[in-house]
Amino acid sequence: MKPIFIAGPCVIESADCMEEVARELVRLQEKYDLDIYFKASFDKANRTSLSSYRGPGMERGLQMLADIRDKYGLRLVTDIHESHQAEPVGRVVDVLQIPAFLCRQTDLLVAAARTGRPVNIKKAQFLSGIDMQYPVEKCRESGAADVWLTERGNIYGYNNLVVDFRNIPDMKRWTPRVIMDCTHSVQRPGGAGGKTGGNREFVPSMALAAKAFGATGYFFEIHPDPEQALSDGPNMLYLKDFEQVVKSLI
């Protein structure tokens, strides 16, 4: 199975940022014959602090994503947090993503599945890979065209995540498309004084370890200047460094 790459800024910040990232993704897609999806969130509903930037909202955000699709020809991934978002989001994007903390929310999974779009379910930080059988079954029994699973580490408190790479082959019991979230897995949740910290220096190693365990996709948050990013900056890759990581995986 050819690996897929899902990449983009954490949250929609500006059209200029999105276009800079999209241009680089198109260049890499053409240079290396990659299977790439552009990902950005129109709303980050699970930020640490009430004062944290969440995004432009669904209506404006979907238009900005559609502009990227129309101008650059990239397929789109974005996440939904509420059931009523599934139908309008499914009209615009190619893959609906279910956030990790919400992966057991039956109504959300059913609504996403009924759009007919592939559904990428991120494994909850409190579940094992084997536990993901049940979210997959909820989607398939509700008519999902395809179901993907994404590993992003487990949380034990104390602002840290641990990745058990055995989750990748465990989740491949339920679907052949298992993706490694190489940037969220190096987060320090809530560990930066009211916002999430992270250790981006470990991202390339996370990706290579996931490849060794049989991952069939890779998820990266990338940004032209992560130090100025409005969400998840400490765990995001610099856009200029993304090509080297991709080369190591192919």
Q: What is the pLDDT of residue 194?
A: 57
- Looking at residue 159, its pLDDT comes to 80
Contacts of residue 59, defined as CB under 8 A and 6 or more positions apart, other chains included, come to none
For 4-249, which CATH class?
alpha beta
Domain ranges for the chain, please list them: 4-249
* Predicted local confidence at residue 190, as pLDDT: 63
- Residue 155 pLDDT more than 70? yes
> Could you tell me whether strands 161-162 and 154-155 are parallel, antiparallel, or unpaired per DSSP bridges?
antiparallel
pLDDT, residue 51, reads 78
Model confidence, pTM: 0.94
Poorest-pLDDT segment among 145-154, 169-178, 224-233: 224-233
Burial 65-79 (b: 16+ CB within 10 A, else e): beebbeebebebbbb
Of 12-26, 135-149, 181-195, the poorest mean pLDDT is in 181-195
Amino acid at 8: G
CB 72 within 8 A of CB 109: no
Name the average pLDDT for the chain. Answer: 94
pLDDT value of position 198: 82
Count of C-beta atoms within a 10 Å radius of residue 12:
27
**Which DSSP string corresponds to 154-171?**
EE-STT-EE--TTHHHHH
Q: How many residues appear in the chain?
A: 250
On the question of pLDDT at 199 being above 60, the answer is yes
pLDDT tens digit sequence for 16-68? 999 999 999 999 999 999 999 999 999 988 877 787 889 999 999 999 999 99
231 pLDDT above the threshold of 90: no
Q: How far is CA 223 from CA 27, 35, 122, 191, in A?
A: 16, 19, 21, 21
| Gap between the Cα atoms of 160 and 188, Å rounded | 5
Q: What is the mean pLDDT of residues 159-171?
A: 94
Tell whether the model's pLDDT for residue 195 goes beyond 80: no
